[in-house]
Amino acid sequence: MLPAYGAIAILQALNSWNNFLWPLIVLRTTDKFTLPIALATLLTPYGNNYDVLIAGSVLTILRILILFVMFQRYFIEGLTAGAVKG
């Protein structure tokens, strides 16, 4: 069951980390925005702040990448456990 739990942990963390709609509806102040919402506010019709957007995107991806590296062994083990020869 450990490979299944590892895959579920990666997918659930990715799903909750990238949640956009519910925090956008609930949160009203800009200091409580999640990272995906804060990154979306950088794109405006008056000008785009691409340097901050790219830096924020790297910081956003980094945490999920660290989680994947931690559970990579279980994730790959779960993928290969169901493989059949022939």
Strand 43-44 relative to strand 47-48: parallel, antiparallel, unpaired?
antiparallel
Q: For residue 76, what pLDDT is reported?
A: 81
Q: How many CB atoms lie within 10 A of CB 75?
A: 19
38-44 mean pLDDT? 86
* pLDDT > 70: percent of the chain: 94
Which residue is it, tokens 């919402």? 37
- Among 21, 41, 45, 19, residue whose Cα is nearest residue 30: 41
Model's pTM, two decimal places? 0.65
**Using the 8-state DSSP alphabet, how is residue 43 labeled?**
E
Residue pair 75/3 in contact (Cβ under 8 Å)? The answer is yes
